[in-house]
């Protein structure tokens, strides 16, 4: 499902099955609000911006010292659709990957599942 907000920004809903990567190839799993299974993409919950996503497997180093991405923090538009008050994630939602010391490392790469939406 594609959504356009009042300012013209558009995007596709991100489901829990989406592939989210840090700029260096580490992987993060999309998460959803507990109990939000009333909004599904082909049976998979829609992801929300609530908790930070954990990144695993980031190989990034700086001058030979490991500096892996460990989390993705989302900053969705204020007027985006919400589930239980928490903004849903779009493949165009603003985000930043961070190290354990909260050093920004760049935006994540999102490959969403493009599926049908069910609201029940």
Residue 118 pLDDT:
46
Residue 33 pLDDT:
53
87: enclosing H helix or E strand? strand 86-87
**Average of per-residue pLDDT across 13-25:** 86
As a whole-number percent, the residues of the chain with pLDDT over 70 amount to 77
How far are the Cα atoms of 63, 85, 111 from residue 19, in angstroms, in the given order? 29, 24, 5
Decide: 69 and 40 in contact? Cβ < 8 Å.
no
Residue 103 pLDDT:
95
The dihedral built from the CA positions of residue 56, 57, 62 and 65, taken in this order, carries a sign that is positive
With 80 as the cut, is the pLDDT of residue 54 above it? yes
Decide: 41 and 47 in contact? Cβ < 8 Å.
no
**Average of per-residue pLDDT across 16-37:** 77
- What's the whole-model pTM score? 0.76
Comparison of pLDDT for 52 and 19, the residue scoring more:
19
Model confidence band, residue 32 (pLDDT cutoffs 50, 70, 90): low
């Amino acid at each position: 499902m594609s959504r356009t907000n009042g300012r013209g920004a558009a995007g596709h809903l991100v489901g829990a099955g989406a592939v989210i990567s840090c700029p260096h190839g580490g992987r993060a799993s999309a998460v959803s609000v507990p109990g939000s299974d009333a909004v599904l993409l082909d049976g998979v919950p829609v992801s929300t911006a609530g908790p930070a996503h954990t990144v695993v497997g980031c190989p990034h180093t700086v001058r030979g010292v490991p500096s892996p991405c460990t989390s993705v923090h989302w900053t969705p538009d204020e007027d985006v659709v919400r589930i239980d008050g928490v903004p849903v994630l779009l493949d165009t939602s603003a985000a930043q990957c961070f190290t354990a010391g909260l050093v920004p490392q760049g935006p994540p790469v999102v490959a969403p599942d493009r599926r049908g939406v069910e609201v029940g």
